[in-house]
Amino acid sequence: MRRTLILMLCLSLALVGCKAKELADKASISKDLKERGTTDLMKEVANDSYDPPQDGRLSEVQVQMYLKVREHEKKIAQVAKTELEKHAEEAKKKGDKSIGGFMEGMKALGSAADFLTADIRAAKDLGYNTQEYLWVKQQIMAASTAEMAEQFSKSMAANFDKAYAEAKKAHDEATDESTKKLYADVLAGYDKSKQEMASSQTEDPAIAYNKQLLSKYENALNAFTHELSKYENKPGEAQKSVEAVQKTNDQAKQQ
């Protein structure tokens, strides 16, 4: 019994410690947003420069950098979003045409800018070259959206194959020439479309490489999901939406 109480006490202290750290982090971020606005941040970013590799391929270190920045970005974006909502609500209470309402509205615009540049601020906070980070993020987003497009294409291909098989069956079972010709034309159209789909699915070698590299660290769709999650009203909405699309695609491929 005593051991259980000690464990519960330790757990409680750990939770309190985590909560205190979270509040301290948010207070620190809020202070930084007030003292170093978006204009100041952009001046710092202007001093960075980066020449990306010609082959467009990411390195292990760059993927790790992106993931670290993304974690810090979440905290900054949450604070900026909370302050944006607070200023917007205050502006509404004071009235859009009042001086107080106007001032709160300007603060809301500032918080919106902080929210949209949260990733750049995170990269700068962590000591990274912001221009390199922006290039890395661009490559990762290209790989992530390519993964989503590939899954959608596979789903479409599965539906296409099913429709083709049904048309082929109807053609083989047709007893008159006019019906056979009708289905033969449909099959010819399917064959042409299939060739066009195959020719359009050639993937950029850099995107293919980066997608494979990214998959060593996480699901390649996570970057796409993260960008969506920044605008969700409830935590987890973006993740549920992406999972729903994946489920639909998986079902289509299994039919």
Sign for the CA dihedral angle at 173, 176, 177, 181 comes to negative
| pLDDT at site 65 | 96
| pLDDT at site 64 | 95
Could you tell me the pTM of the whole model?
0.70
- The answer to whether 77 and 230 are in contact (CB under 8 A) is yes
Distance between CA atoms of residues 115 and 123, nearest Å: 14
Q: Sketch the domain layout of the chain as residue ranges.
A: 19-48+58-128, 138-255
Torsion angle defined by CA atoms of residues 29, 34, 37 and 38, in that order, rounded to the nearest 10 degrees: 50
| pLDDT at site 16 | 43
| pLDDT at site 180 | 76
- The answer to whether 227 and 141 are in contact (CB under 8 A) is yes
| pLDDT at site 218 | 86
Q: For residue 175, give the 3-state DSSP assignment.
A: coil
| pLDDT at site 14 | 45
pLDDT below 70 — which residues of the chain? 1-25, 96-97, 102, 196-202, 232-239, 241-255
- Distances, alpha carbon 230 to alpha carbons 70, 129, 141, 195, in Å: 11, 23, 15, 39
| pLDDT at site 128 | 96
